[in-house]
């Protein structure tokens, strides 16, 4: 079942005298439970595509359906609520709130969802233990390594029970050991919990783990490979 569907997706940036065509007619379906990497050279449009799928940016032309709902037709306040309840984000810069502990960073999304305190506490503990940080719940980001911070970011992304996780270059700032641990953890979540992950990446280690690799060049899909890993 397709949980993400794009049709004739175009994105043109008019910020300079010469328009930049970041996406040129992208048609794409991603099914529930996939572990997908979107790859391509710098400027190929992969981060733009991820941002538009996540409702962080809008297309110049075309449609995006998430869970059967056309998010391109939503007003900004509807889109904010939809993102909060349906899409998890992991960024290369972690984007944790520095003054909050690991526990508070994970809880933050659920506070916005107005979840019950008991439910938040249980979910937060469960997720931080799942990502191997049950003993670092009261540590602030500055007290954690890059790999640990990204694990907190994954736990935070999962906290809202999203339909899927979008991960934009999640390993870019990590060393080899941290990258390997993070990818093993996400692959296990995908296998065991059927969590859907969509990556934008240059990292060959991510590409090797992916079961589907979509290659963009000049804003177009030039290959779409499904494989056994």
Q: Strands, DSSP E only, in the chain? A: 2-13, 20-31, 35-39, 61-66, 69-70, 87-91, 164-168, 197-200, 212-217, 220-226
Supply the CATH number for residue 35's domain: 3.40.50.300
Could you tell me if residue 69 is inside a domain?
yes
State the total domains in the chain: 1
Q: What radius of gyration do the chain's Cα atoms show? A: 17
- d(CA 58, CA 32) in angstroms, rounded, equals 23
Could you tell me if residue 133 is inside a domain?
no
> What's the pLDDT at 15?
76
Could you tell me if residue 125 is inside a domain?
no
Residues of the domain holding 200: 2-96+146-226
Model pTM score: 0.93
Could you tell me if residue 140 is inside a domain?
no
List average pLDDT for each run of 10 residues in the chain, which is 229 residues long: 94 86 96 96 92 94 94 94 95 92 96 94 95 95 95 94 94 92 93 94 93 96 90
Could you tell me if residue 9 is inside a domain?
yes
> What's the pLDDT at 116?
95
> What's the pLDDT at 229?
67
Could you tell me if residue 103 is inside a domain?
no
Could you tell me if residue 220 is inside a domain?
yes
> What's the pLDDT at 17?
81
Burial environment of residue 193 by CB neighbours within 10 A (0 to 12, 13 to 18, 19 or more): exposed
Whether 206 and 44 have beta carbons less than 8 Å apart is answered as: no
Could you tell me if residue 47 is inside a domain?
yes
pLDDT for 126-163, tens place per residue? 999 999 999 999 999 999 999 999 999 999 999 999 99
> What's the pLDDT at 93?
87
């Amino acid at each position: 079942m397709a949980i993400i569907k794009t049709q004739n997706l175009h994105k043109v940036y008019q910020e300079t005298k010469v328009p930049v065509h970041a996406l040129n007619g992208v048609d794409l379906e991603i099914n529930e439970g996939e572990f997908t990497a979107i790859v391509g050279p710098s400027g190929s449009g992969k981060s733009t595509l991820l941002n538009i799928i996540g409702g962080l940016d809008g297309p110049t032309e075309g449609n995006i359906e998430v869970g059967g709902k056309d998010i391109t037709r939503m007003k900004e306040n509807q889109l904010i609520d939809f993102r909060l309840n349906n899409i998890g984000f992991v960024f290369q810069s972690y984007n944790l709130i520095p003054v909050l502990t690991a526990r508070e960073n994970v809880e933050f999304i659920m506070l916005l969802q107005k979840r019950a305190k008991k439910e938040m506490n249980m979910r937060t503990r469960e997720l931080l233990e799942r990502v191997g940080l049950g003993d670092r719940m009261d540590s602030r980001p500055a007290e954690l390594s890059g790999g640990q911070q990204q694990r907190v970011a994954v736990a935070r992304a999962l906290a809202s029970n999203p339909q899927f996780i979008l991960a934009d270059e999640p390993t870019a700032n990590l060393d080899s050991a941290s990258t390997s641990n993070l990818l093993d953890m996400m692959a296990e979540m995908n296998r065991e919990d059927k969590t859907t992950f969509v990556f934008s990446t240059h990292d060959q280690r991510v590409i090797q783990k992916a079961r589907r690799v979509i290659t963009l060049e000049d804003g177009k899909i030039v290959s779409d490979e499904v494989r056994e890993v």
